[in-house]
Chain A
């Protein structure tokens, strides 16, 4: 690896995860407020994330195995926010149960009585 290749690879890897995080953040905000602008922004940021992944594959001296991992991680980053959101919606459905919010001595939700 050349000295410039080192910095380029490190920065691209950081940018890659940063854009994945920004995609997740914007996706969540878009779902929260149901606004088209955030949906669009989320899609754009994921697109940039994809371009960064492409740059890592084409421009860095990483081995083939690591490049495959980058592609697989991009797919995982794509599905984590929607899955997490759906799961959160699902578990919040019965949030109105008052006893669930109290400490265990007042709560019906005790995993075991010894």
Chain B
């Protein structure tokens, strides 16, 4: 194994740990809705929510970085350039995440001053990490970009997938710089902030996971490079073609000109089209291989990714993306439902698939199957679908009572929160969240025990 592949395993371990923190803080956030006095005076709801969302971003980012560190040396036939710096920065990254989490939990708030901005919380949703930590993330991303681009230059060759990846790394790094400015005009601030949030998630991350899935498909199903590259180019063109200006659906109600209603609605309405193409591709690949692969969990998680991306991003997104509906639905649990489904389908399932592929190699397994992964697959997906359904019901109640009937007044907000449908949705969200958490525990158990169970998984030596 290459050094960067050892580093990839460490990053995957960190990612799965943060996945657990995300799950725990998600459960806590759900419970606050049922019992608002929970941890009163100790840990407010918003801190649990910050931890839930920020660890979601970081664990997925670590999963992406890990996947690239795993595939890159195999792709280019050499150790990545600057691997020593990458190894050091892994520990810096993990330490920074831990320190930021401790500050969030124990310090929580600062004053309206530069000190709070630098050391406690930047105060901008999804990028709350204090400025020193945000600088650290930039350094990690720059070194990561150097690892990829420098290795390609050193190898004196590139492939289609690596070329797409290198091009994608530029906006991935540059867009994060938007996390720094503190504009005093809220409309201007949100305008640029959405570049970071939307264009990371619906453009650069989509391309990144496309590259990772292309590399994983070659390893899992032996799909030819020509095919995955051809599909990757089309996917990138369609995703960027619809996703970049789809940014406009975040500009509906933040004080931007009203032409964004047309632009955002139009391009967002096109976003399901490439996702439908991916569904057809998934069926073709699975059918061509008769759903047979030497790594069944990886195959099933990849299939879950294709369908989850379409339903979570496409179906759930389309419900709320046209301005007339979005006027009432934005910022309710309806959008939370969409967010959970889309992130899970588009990214989380793909990362879990790659982790199974990596474990197959590191533990020298000819065939990966068993019972535990089925239980974790079922519990995680049933739990997530249940949460999404429950959040959708709560979101309907909120949009109906608070927005459409009540006109978004404070009194209407209270009426929405006290509505029986809203409360029941929140109860079921919490209960299904427990199922999801159980699925996470089984997943970790399976990942730790994989290859050490006989006869569920046969090791190469046993097969020989």
> Which of A's residues lie within 8 Å of B, judged by CB?
1-3, 6-7, 9-11, 13-14, 16-18, 20-21, 24-25, 27-29, 32-33, 61-63, 65-66, 69, 73, 76-77, 80-81, 84-85, 87-88, 91-92, 94-95, 97, 100-105, 107, 109-114
Contact = CB atoms under 8 A, between A and B. Distances in A.
Contacts of B155: 114
B340 interface: no
A20 B270 CA distance: 13
B439 to A, nearest CB: 24
5 contacts: A32-B283, A33-B287, A103-B74, A112-B158, A114-B156
A94 B152 CA distance: 27
B77 interface: yes
Contact of A111 (B160, B273, B284): B160
Contact of A112 (B157, B277, B324): B157
B314 interface: yes
A77 to B, nearest CB: 7
Contacts of B387: none
A24 B158 contact: no
Contact of B404 (A3, A73, A91, A112): A3
Contacts of A63: 324
B186 interface: no
A63 B324 CA distance: 9
Nearest to A107: B225
Given A10-B319, A18-B311, A114-B153, A109 B283 contact: no
B107 interface: no
A113 to B, nearest CB: 5
B227 interface: yes
A69 B264 CA distance: 13
Given A13-B318, A77-B273, A102-B225, 11 more contacts: A1-B327, A1-B404, A6-B329, A62-B324, A73-B273, A77-B276, A88-B280, A94-B226, A104-B159, A112-B163, A114-B157
B226 A91 contact: yes
The secondary structure that dominates the B interface is: helix
Contact of B157 (A29, A77, A80, A104): A104
Contacts of B158: 110-112, 114
B284 A109 contact: no
B76 A104 contact: yes
Which of under 10, 10 to 19, 20 to 34, or 35 or more describes the interface residues of B?
Answer: 35 or more
Would you call the interface of chain A mostly helix, strand, loop, or mixed?
helix
Given A91-B226, A97-B224, A97-B226, A7 B160 contact: no
B281 A105 contact: no
A66 B77 contact: no
A13 B314 CA distance: 10
Contact of B283 (A9, A28, A61, A91): A28
Interface centre among A2, A87, A88 (most CB of B within 10 A): A88
A21 B283 contact: no
B419 interface: no
B139 interface: no
A80 B77 contact: no
B284 A28 contact: yes
Contact of B400 (A6, A77, A97): A6
B101 interface: no
Contact of A65 (B262, B275, B319, B396): B262
Contacts of A94: 224, 226
Contacts of B153: 114
A81 to B, nearest CB: 5
Contacts of A84: 276-277, 280-281
Nearest to B78: A105
Contact of A91 (B230, B279, B280, B325): B230
A68 to B, nearest CB: 11
Contact of A85 (B280, B319, B322): B280
